[in-house]
Amino acid sequence: MNSKILLLLGLVAVASADKRPSFSYGPPQHSSEESGPAQYNFNWAVDDDPSGNEFGHQESRDNDNTKGSYSVQLPDGRLQTVTYYVDGDSGYVADVQYQGEARYPDSDEVRSYVPPRPTYG
């Protein structure tokens, strides 16, 4: 009798464990939050005199119209500035300008990289 009860309880446990929770896959439920057209402005810049690094980025967007620019100090000493815009489906249109003259060190001036010695304290 005990074995029958144990068998019945085992079957009940297996049957209840086999039931999977039901998930509904479909479009998200309507949100009470309304979203408007994309609008933003940002900019940042770095100008580090000791190292000569100068770079930055600015961009603004109003609906599908995006425009901005970014600049990078190149290893050869020139400043590269990219001005761009995106107007709807026209794609990314960029204008690249360089300021300064490229400088390349003579072979005597080229040194191999040596990492700085760690300092503790």
The predicted structure's pLDDT at residue 105: 75
The predicted structure's pLDDT at residue 17: 65
The predicted structure's pLDDT at residue 106: 73
The predicted structure's pLDDT at residue 83: 97
Low-confidence ranges of the chain (pLDDT < 50): none
Long-range CB pairs of 72-76, under 8 A, 24+ apart, other chains included: 74/98, 74/102, 76/102, 76/103, 76/104
CA gap 102, 76 in Å, rounded: 5
Amino acid at the residue 12: V
Residue 83 token pair: 């001005």
* pTM assigned to the model: 0.57
Question: Is residue 40 within 8 Å of 58, Cβ to Cβ?
Answer: no
The predicted structure's pLDDT at residue 94: 94
CA gap 73, 51 in Å, rounded: 10
At 14, is the secondary structure helix, strand, or coil? helix
